[in-house]
Amino acid sequence: MTNNISIFDTTLRDGTQGEGISLSADDKLKIAQKLDALGVHYIEGGNPGSNSKDIEFFQRIKAFNLNAKITAFGSTRRKNSLAEQDASLVRIAESGVPAATLVGKSWDFHVHTALQTTLEENLSMIYDSIAFLKQNEMEALFDSEHFFDGYKNNPEYAISVLKKAQEAGANWLVLCDTNGGTLPSEIHEIVSRVKQELVTPIGIHTHNDCELAVANSLAAVEAGARQVQGTINGYGERCGNANLCSIIPNLQIKMNYDVLPEEKLRVLTSTARYISEIANVHMPVGQAYVGNAAFAHKGGIHVSAIMKDSKTYEHIQPELVGNKQRILVSELAGQSNIISKAKELGLDVNANNEKTKLIMDQIKDLEHQGYQFEGADASLELLLREAFGGEVKEVFKVESFKMLVEKTNGQMISEAIVKINVGGQQVYTAAEGNGPVNALDNALRKALVQFYPKIESIHLSDYKVRVIDEKDATAAKVRVLIESTGLDNTWSTVGVSNNVIEASWEALVDSIRYALLNMVKVDNTHVDPLDRIGLVNH
């Protein structure tokens, strides 16, 4: 039995059925290129005739000459008709892609209830449709919908469906847990039985309604499946599809299957985060392997141990999947966390034990006030650099800012006026925005862009407000977390105040300070205004 596993990505088709996910043709093309760079073997693009976006995608994708097989999706012919006259099948054949997936019924209940036809006609629909693809020299994948439910209800008929697709020449027989209600032990047992009945390679397509899609996919592979279908980040209808970001490293690192080249596996994290950005869906911080907290350590005992050997609290090396170890600093952290985080930033803390204690006390005091640094790495880095290295230069000084909020003709208008000083030069700007924070952001950038043109590439990607003490109602202290993206990086900053505008401004200023600090690191040969400004602490 081959040890190679084929990865079939359906993010662009099944993934887009997830609530809140909508991709343009351009989005789908960008994601397809990223998936191809990752090394997946099949990329299912959608139905070539179902909507204008998919039609455009299949027309334009040909020019990219990807290594992955672009795959079209459709269903078996309509009942009591001819495959060669079925408009959907004809469009698939004319799309020019090398492979197509056809979904057909394998549960007798669905044949009678959903299709309202006979079991015999359903078998003919499957045979005719697969044979039509083969006549058009296409690779044919048969998605046996509701297979596991069908097998448990009528195993003889479910197997006959697969045998009919095999007889027609299907290249893959994909067993689908469409309702996501099957357990791993059942998956393993049923796939093992199917393998004994058929010679065509088996694939697995699971849904996550019981939080078992990944486990079910792995169980199917152990039982003999050699293709796994899923989506990046587990996007999909209802509770989602099987998450390829967990399946791929589990198969390759834990189970020793050949899935992707090692160098491809190392871009898994960046691929997951890129696609989440395009889909405009924030990744869960604790997502396995690729999440921001997948290799994050907060408890002082844990950090002390991983400083000696990372295997003490990490099941793999984060770099294998393109992720990285993170040390969180909070009121729960010990001195080890501070030392580790400072060393990570290249700061010398060996001779600064007293400073370490002082900064630890400062962090605890700030967190008591409502700050939270475990979710604001950039603010923490600025704090540590000021404490240990004195490296943070005040590249601009805020002299004042003013907010105007007005409702005119039923519309809310927010305007910010900002006065700053850059290297002795006073800059006074005003800007409007969709709300006061956006107006402040626009005004600050407008003031700084003449000195730092690259600042235009930075944008706020997330903004969160948390009330710290609800009993104070509208006078409560709030914590604002801002996530910014740009310069091939993402960072978070925090601000706290009884005034939400002040808290937002604090987080916003930290975000810009962090960006400017890293601009110099990225391009240290550039003659930057930083070089003309002295070392002034913020």
Do residues 241 and 332 share a domain? no
**Is residue 480 assigned to a domain?**
yes
**Is residue 223 assigned to a domain?**
yes
Domains: count for the chain? 3
Do residues 215 and 83 share a domain? yes
Domain boundary among 226, 251, 279: 279
**What H or E segment, with its residue span, contains residue 513?**
helix 500-522
SS3 207: strand
Do residues 417 and 445 share a domain? yes
Do residues 434 and 501 share a domain? yes
Do residues 42 and 117 share a domain? yes
Domain boundary among 369, 385, 413: 369
**Is residue 288 assigned to a domain?**
no
**Is residue 68 assigned to a domain?**
yes
Do residues 64 and 136 share a domain? yes
What's the distance, CA 473 to chain centroid? 35
Kindly report the CATH number assigned to the domain that includes residue 252: 3.20.20.70
Query: Which residue's entry shows tokens 């006259």?
Result: 85
Cβ–Cβ under 8 Å, residues 431 and 412: no
**Is residue 391 assigned to a domain?**
no
pTM: 0.72
Do residues 146 and 254 share a domain? yes
Pick from 400, 389, 422: which is nearest to 533 by CA? 422
Query: Token pair for residue 457?
Result: 């590439």
Cβ–Cβ under 8 Å, residues 419 and 401: yes
Kindly report the CATH number assigned to the domain that includes residue 469: 3.30.160.270
- DSSP state for residue 302 in the 8-state scheme: H
**Is residue 375 assigned to a domain?**
no
**Is residue 104 assigned to a domain?**
yes
Domain boundary among 279, 311, 341: 279
Do residues 156 and 184 share a domain? yes
Pick from 317, 239, 323, 214: which is nearest to 273 by CA? 323
- Give the structural domain span for 216: 6-279
pLDDT at 229: 98
> Within 13 Å and on the Cβ side, how many CA atoms surround 313?
18
Do residues 249 and 331 share a domain? no
382-404: pLDDT as tens digits: 888 877 765 556 778 888 999 88
Pick from 527, 393, 519: which is nearest to 457 by CA? 519
Do residues 326 and 228 share a domain? no
Specify the amino acid at residue 86: D
Positions of the chain with pLDDT under 70? 1, 299-300, 303, 328-338, 340-341, 345-346, 348-353, 374-375, 389-393, 469-475, 487, 520-538
Do residues 80 and 209 share a domain? yes
Do residues 177 and 215 share a domain? yes
pLDDT at 524: 45
Q: How far apart are CA 236 and CA 298, in angstroms?
A: 32
